[in-house]
Amino acid sequence: MKKKRNLLFIIVALATILVAGAITLKKTSRKMNKTENAAAAAQTAGGDALVLLETSEGNIKVRLFGDTPKHRDNFLKLVKEGYYNGVLFHRVINEFMVQTGDPDSKNAPAGKALGAGGPDYTLEAEIVYPKHYHKRGALAAARQGDQVNPERRSSGSQFYIVTGKAYNDSTLKQMERQLQMMQKQQIFNELTKQHKDSIMAMRRNRDQAGLQKLQDELVAITEQKAAENPAALTSEQREVYATQGGTPHLDNQYTVFGEVVEGMDVVDKIEKAETDGRDRPVSDIRIISAKVVDK
Helix (H, G, I), strand (E, B) or coil at 131: coil
Q: Report the pLDDT value the prediction gives residue 145, as an integer from 0 to 100.
A: 94
Q: Write the pLDDT tens digit of every residue in 183-206.
A: 899 899 999 999 999 999 999 999
> What residues contact 211, with CB distance under 8 A and at least 6 apart?
10, 199, 202, 203
Quote the CA–CA distance of 194 and 208 in Å, as a whole number: 19
Quote the CA–CA distance of 209 and 203 in Å, as a whole number: 10
Quote the CA–CA distance of 67 and 153 in Å, as a whole number: 17
Helix (H), strand (E) at residue 224: helix 208-228
Which residues, in sequence order, are bridge partners of residue 159? 100, 141
DSSP secondary structure, 4-69, as one string: HHHHHHHHHHHHHHHH------PPP-----HHHHHHHHHHHTTS-EEEEEEETTEEEEEEEPTTSH
**How confident is residue 182, by pLDDT bands cut at 50, 70 and 90?**
confident
- The answer to which of 104-108, 215-219, 226-230 has the lowest mean pLDDT is 226-230
Q: Report the pLDDT value the prediction gives residue 186, as an integer from 0 to 100.
A: 87
Residue 158: closest CA among 142, 177, 169, 146:
142
Please state the domain extents for the chain.
2-13+170-228, 45-166+244-293
**How confident is residue 54, by pLDDT bands cut at 50, 70 and 90?**
very high
What is the rounded end-to-end Cα distance, in angstroms, of the chain? 56
Q: Report the pLDDT value the prediction gives residue 99, as an integer from 0 to 100.
A: 98
CATH architecture of 45-166+244-293: Beta Barrel (2.40)
Q: Write the pLDDT tens digit of every residue in 98-151.
A: 999 999 999 999 989 999 999 999 999 999 999 999 999 999 999 999 989 989
Q: Write the pLDDT tens digit of every residue in 4-49.
A: 444 444 444 444 433 333 323 333 333 334 434 444 444 444 599 9
